[in-house]
């Protein structure tokens, strides 16, 4: 580890999809469209949950936090990606790379924990309905969200500081479209067992443990649902839980594939596709999934729009 880290004062090159130039223009258009959908969809959810008092509940408090996370996450990645694809250079400053790496880690880990918190909220609502307001009181909800944010921050500080200290022996090429853990580790000119252990440990803590808790919560929820005899009760449960389960499947499925598999078993091109999915596509689908499957959100949007129309006329 005594090798001079020459690249710490120079720009990095984000290779992205430069080895397939015929696809770059198509990918950039698709990414741009998904980014606009992400901005509009998640901003709409945040505004609606804030303006509509009927959505001032724990479930929508967590949903608005998830939307804010997705907004920040995609904004830390996509603008730089589009600039590199459309512009003459594919470079990013060392400081820019560190910031992008840090925020992507921080926000991604926070989302892992927040999705688990949302599963607990659904468990409390369905399995403990009489005690729901006592269990999920506002102060407790705020503490759980704060814990999620602090947990993500702690993991990002640990992994970012260790990864950026790895000697790169002048290597400046990041074989991905943004500064992400696997690509930055592969840039190193030495093998680090410590990094491998840390990545695996954080993967267990932020991916496998939250996913296990989510599955346990939904196992208990399923047992409770089986006792519901009314069709209306079944439909309400499926509407509120189905959206969350869909988001969990999309997010955790691709993230676990990328971070829990040995790095040498995943081809770089395959890794880019999976990375593109959970960094660009999933955040744009979240608001659509919650809006299309949730009558409360759709009705709140209609109420908000009708209020704005009335105020505009007056």
Provide the strand spans (E) within the chain. 12-14, 91-92, 173-174
Token pair 């690249």 in the structure block, residue: 7
Token pair 């995609």 in the structure block, residue: 74
Q: What is the pLDDT of residue 223?
A: 81
CA dist., res. 20 & res. 16, Å (int): 9
Q: How many residues does the chain have?
A: 314
Q: Sign of the CA dihedral 161, 166, 172, 173?
A: negative
Q: What is the pLDDT of residue 18?
A: 76
Q: Which secondary structure element, helix H or strand E, spans residue 230, and what is its range?
A: none
Q: What is the pLDDT of residue 246?
A: 79
Q: What is the pLDDT of residue 142?
A: 95
Provide the strand spans (E) within 23-145. 91-92
Token pair 């006792």 in the structure block, residue: 227
Record the pTM: 0.84
pLDDT digits (tens, 9 = 90+) for 189-226: 888 888 888 988 998 899 889 999 998 988 888 887 77
Q: What is the pLDDT of residue 228?
A: 67
- Residue-by-residue DSSP string for 275-311: HHIIIIIHHHHHHHHHHHT-HHHHHHHHHHHHHHHHH
pLDDT digits (tens, 9 = 90+) for 254-279: 778 777 766 555 556 667 777 888 88
CB 225 within 8 A of CB 126: yes
Q: What is the pLDDT of residue 106?
A: 95
Low-confidence ranges of the chain (pLDDT < 50): 1-8
């Amino acid at each position: 580890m005594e090798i001079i880290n020459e690249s710490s004062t120079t720009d990095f090159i984000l290779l992205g999809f430069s080895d397939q130039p015929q696809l770059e223009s198509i990918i950039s258009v698709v990414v741009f469209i998904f980014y606009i959908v992400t901005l509009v969809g998640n901003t709409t959810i945040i505004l609606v949950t804030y303006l509509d008092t009927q959505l001032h509940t724990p479930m929508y408090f967590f949903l608005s936090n998830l939307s804010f996370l997705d907004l920040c996450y995609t904004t830390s990645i996509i603008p730089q990606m589009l600039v590199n694809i459309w512009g003459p250079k594919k470079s990013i400053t060392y400081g820019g790379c560190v910031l992008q790496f840090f925020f992507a880690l921080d926000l991604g880990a926070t989302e892992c924990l927040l999705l688990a918190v949302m599963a607990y909220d659904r468990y409390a609502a369905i399995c403990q309905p009489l005690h729901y307001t006592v269990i999920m009181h506002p102060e407790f909800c705020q503490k759980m969200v704060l814990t999620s944010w602090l947990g993500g921050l702690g993991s990002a500080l640990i992994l970012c500081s260790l990864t950026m200290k790895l000697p790169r022996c002048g290597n400046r090429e990041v074989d991905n479209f943004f500064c992400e853990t696997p690509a930055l580790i592969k840039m190193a000119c030495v093998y680090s067992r410590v990094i491998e252990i840390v990545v695996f440990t954080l993967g267990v803590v932020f991916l496998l443990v939250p996913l296990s808790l989510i599955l346990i919560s939904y196992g208990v929820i399923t047992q409770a649902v089986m006792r519901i005899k009314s069709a209306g009760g079944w439909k309400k449960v499926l509407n509120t839980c189905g959206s969350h389960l869909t988001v969990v499947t999309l997010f955790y499925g691709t993230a676990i594939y990328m971070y829990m598999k040995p790095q040498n078993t995943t081809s770089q091109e395959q890794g880019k596709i999976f990375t593109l999915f959970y960094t660009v596509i999933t955040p744009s689908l979240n608001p659509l999934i919650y809006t299309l499957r949730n009558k409360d959100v759709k009705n709140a949007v209609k109420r908000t729009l009708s209020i704005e129309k009335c105020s505009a006329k007056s």
